[in-house]
Amino acid sequence: MEPDSVTSHSRKPLIIPLPGELPDVKRDAAKAFAVLQAGGVIITPTDVGYGMMAASVEGIERAFTAKNRKVGHSLGIIGTYALHKKLHNLPPEKYNVTRTLSEEMGITIAVVAKMKEGTKELLPSVEKVTKNGTLGIAISEGPFQRELGRLNDENGQIMIGSSANLTGQGQKFQIKDIEPEVIEAADLIVDYGRQKWHLYGRAGTTIDLDNERVLRIGVNYEVIREKLIDWFGWSLPEDPEFSKEGLKRVGVSIKLDPDI
């Protein structure tokens, strides 16, 4: 899709990879980035389900409306560890937490913290992404999001987004499950099939770095919790549904061959 083709939303969005093509992270992220630069809306894969993203005021407003978001319900930045360091105002030991989880462990994590002075001037839609002087950033570690994040950082573009679903209707891990109203608001869809953490049926885990607490128990929380306790001394509640051993019920394995 050429950047100047993002003009009308009465047509169906372009879906990539095209028929007969396999996923190619660099190629597909470059196409998504071009749509963002042109003011468009994209739906892309993340480890925690499909996300809906934009980088312009018009695009963010279109995504906000399509999701049926209520006024006062904020969106978040989808970005990199480097962008998190640029925008959040934290002591070095707190950056060490997110660096270890995201850069070293490859764990997708959403963090909320106080903003640095001057951050508001960098954001394309301040009222929809900030709350009481804090800002949320999802540091997404899947290969596609890393590449798209790199392109955004290199070009000074900030991407705003949320899950690709109607508000309150649950995370979508396949494109075919996303509501038509949300699909129709997009200019480009990157369809990489079923996403990594679909068995949880949840959005990502969100932590409050300033106060060392969990705001949302989500995907992979039992692993994140263990590392925050063991490595950084945090005190966090257990997941009510999952433990390190899996679902909190007996008999989750299914043996199909009695001789194994």
Q: Give the pLDDT score at 129.
A: 78
Lowest mean pLDDT among 17-21, 90-94, 131-135: 131-135
Res 75: pLDDT: 77
Give the separation between CA 152 and CA 147, rounded to whole angstroms: 9
User: Which of the two residues, 95 and 120, has the higher pLDDT score?
Assistant: 95
In DSSP terms, 214 is beta-bridged to 207
Domain 12-247: give its CATH code. Answer: 3.90.870.10
Q: How confident is the model at residue 51 (pLDDT cuts 50, 70, 90)?
A: very high
Task: Give the domain ranges of the chain.
Answer: 12-247
For residues 164 and 167, give the distance between their C-alpha atoms in angstroms, rounded to a whole number. Answer: 9
What pTM was computed for the model?
A: 0.86
Q: Is 123 left (phi over 0), alpha (psi -120 to 50) or beta?
A: beta
**CB proximity list for 40: less than 8 A, separation 6 or greater:** 6, 54, 56, 59, 186, 187, 188
Q: 3-state SS string over 76-99?
A: EEEECHHHHHHHECCCHHHHHHHH
Q: What does the DSSP assignment read for the chain?
A: --GGGTT-SSSPPEEESPTTPPP-HHHHHHHHHHHHHTT-EEEE--TTS-EEEESSHHHHHHHHHHTTPPTT---EEEE-HHHHHHHB---HHHHHHHIIIIIIT---EEEEEEBPTT-GGG-S-HHHHEETTEEEEEE--SHHHHHHHHHHHHTT---EEEESS-TTS---SSGGGS-HHHHHT-SEEE---S-TTTTT---B-EEETTTTEEEE--BTHHHHHHHHHHHH----PPPSSEETTEESSS-----S-TT-
pLDDT at 132 over 80: yes
> What is the rounded average pLDDT of the residues 37-65?
93
Query: Considering the chain, what is the average pLDDT of its residues?
Result: 88
- Phi, psi at 16, each rounded to 5°: -125, 155
pLDDT > 80? residue 73 = no
Kindly report the three-state secondary structure assignment for every residue of 109-159.
EEEEEEECCCCHHHCCCHHHHEECCEEEEEECCCHHHHHHHHHHHHCCCCC
pLDDT at 207: 95
With beta carbons less than 8 A apart as the criterion, state whether 104 and 51 touch.
no
**Interacting residues of 250 by C-beta distance below 8 A, sequence separation 6+:** none
Is the pLDDT at 254 greater than 70, yes or no? no
15-35 pLDDT, tens per residue? Answer: 999 999 999 999 999 999 999
Count the Cβ atoms, other than its own, within 10 Å of residue 240: 8
The residue-averaged pLDDT of 83-90 equals: 96
